[in-house]
Chain A
Amino acid sequence: MGEIENMIDRIRQGDKVTLSKLITKMENDPELRKEVIKRIYGCPVKGKIICFTGPPGVGKSTLIDHVISILTERGKKVGVILVDPRSPYTGGSLLGDRIRMQRHATNPNVFIRSISCADNPEGISRSVKDILKVMGLSGMDYIIVETVGTGQIAVEVSYICHTTVLVLMPNMGDDIQMMKAGIIESADIYVINKSDIGGADLTEAYLKDNVEPRNGWEPPIIRTVGYNRATVIPLIEKIEEHLKYENPMYMEKIKGLLKTMFLDYIDDLACRFLEKESKFEEFVDKVANCGCDYYTAVEELYDIFKKEVICRDKKD
């Protein structure tokens, strides 16, 4: 595994080609991902992670384009991870977020990577959490994550990021939409983009009614217009302010994230076991033909898992 250490060293020195290659390897190989994380766990990460989430088409990528401009003009290094959906039917994807920020493609202080996501309804794929760790080694001051266009349940991102920005636009629904649980409760900063198209007053009023202070932080609501860079500056100021704010519930937040990561890994192990276990298909057949119920089938598979995997590992 000397190769991994070599790559990590080069990434620490700011080598973008190696960073890009290691991201590919981590995406394709969960075993390698694990080895990388075992090596870098506990390493201090300099970069602050800012997440942009919200429904498709509200202008997340366009806002990020301005944010990159403003931050790099202030001498900062910025890494960007853009997550777009992968087709559950063909496995293919069209990664089209970076089209909005191609003017930064040749900036040596910017690294942009598009990632497809299929395995997580919450807007980021599992590998992204690990990839963020690796990007953190490369000396970037900020790491921006753009989620898949998400609706109502992308709460998990708020655990991963220092600051979560929820981007909305006018005329997306009435106050009932804002009253629903989930994403509306999770952001640190709310943006009403495309606020020049009319209807922004009502959207802001609905938001104001439903966004509540959390642990001493009062989430601001900011209006932006994608083609007007000046409107994005107040957003940056609020992001900076939030990054300085010390969340008294920080440890709780981290523990929340860790719990989801534990569960993810258990899920991974179970999936890999099932892929190899010939009885899996047999049980599926049996349930499909009403031979038994799926609870019983899973319990029997779990017994095999305990006997074969856990006992075997103990012997090793």
Chain B
Amino acid sequence: MRKRILIAKVGLDGHDRGAKVVARALKNAGFEVIYTGIRQSPEQVVETAIQEDVSLIGLSCLSGAHIPLFKKVIELMKEKGVDIPVFCGGTIPPGDVEILKKMGMKEVFGPGAPLKLIVEKVKKWVK
């Protein structure tokens, strides 16, 4: 069984180093990673996740707009009747972490999050 993960960057944000590093780590851990590239709308992310039939979505945002954008992704999934787990990362203020987790994020990875930890968690979520 191949395990497919979507890594996506939402909003007007060109900082893709983090998303690429995570995508590469997951590829090296044996996952099939689909990377959308930068400046995606929540609609693009959800539609891509459906067409690619992924088991997990990783969202990245470093622009500060993470709360409304990630929220929109989760709302759109509900609208479309799909239920795919989501984790996220980026420059996210510590105060926002709880808000994002309440929203349904499996985990929030900030700058400096060890790749080993990310891969371990992802392996647990995608069995």
Which A residues fall within an 8 A CB radius of B? 16-17, 20-21, 23-24, 27-28, 86-87, 90-96, 98-99, 102, 105-106, 111-114, 116
Whether A90 contacts B28 by the Cβ 8 Å rule is: yes
Nearest Cβ on chain A to B83's Cβ, whole angstroms: 12
Nearest Cβ on chain B to A120's Cβ, whole angstroms: 16
Which B residues fall within an 8 A CB radius of A? 1-2, 4, 23-24, 26-37, 40-41, 43-44, 47-48, 50-53, 82
Listed A/B pairs (5) with beta-carbon separation below 8 Å: A20-B50, A96-B35, A102-B37, A111-B51, A113-B52
Whether A116 contacts B32 by the Cβ 8 Å rule is: yes
**A93 interface neighbour in B27, B37, B51, B52, Cβ under 8 Å:** B27
Main secondary structure of the interface of A (DSSP, over half): mixed
Whether A94 contacts B2 by the Cβ 8 Å rule is: no
Whether A90 contacts B29 by the Cβ 8 Å rule is: yes
Nearest Cβ on chain A to B56's Cβ, whole angstroms: 14
Residues on the B chain within 8 Å of A102, using CB: 36-37, 40, 44, 48
Residues on the B chain within 8 Å of A20, using CB: 50-53
Whether B53 contacts A23 by the Cβ 8 Å rule is: yes
Residues on the B chain within 8 Å of A17, using CB: 50, 82
Residues on the B chain within 8 Å of A90, using CB: 27-30
Closest 5 CB pairs of A and B: A99-B37, A92-B27, A105-B44, A20-B53, A91-B30
| Docked complex Cα distance between A91 and B30 (Å) | 5
**A95 interface neighbour in B30, B32, B82, Cβ under 8 Å:** B32
| Docked complex Cα distance between A106 and B48 (Å) | 8
- Chain A residue nearest in CB terms to B39: A102
| Docked complex Cα distance between A16 and B24 (Å) | 28
Residues on the A chain within 8 Å of B23, using CB: 94
| Docked complex Cα distance between A106 and B53 (Å) | 15
Residues on the B chain within 8 Å of A28, using CB: 1-2
Whether A95 contacts B34 by the Cβ 8 Å rule is: yes
Whether B36 contacts A93 by the Cβ 8 Å rule is: no
Residues on the B chain within 8 Å of A106, using CB: 41, 43-44, 47
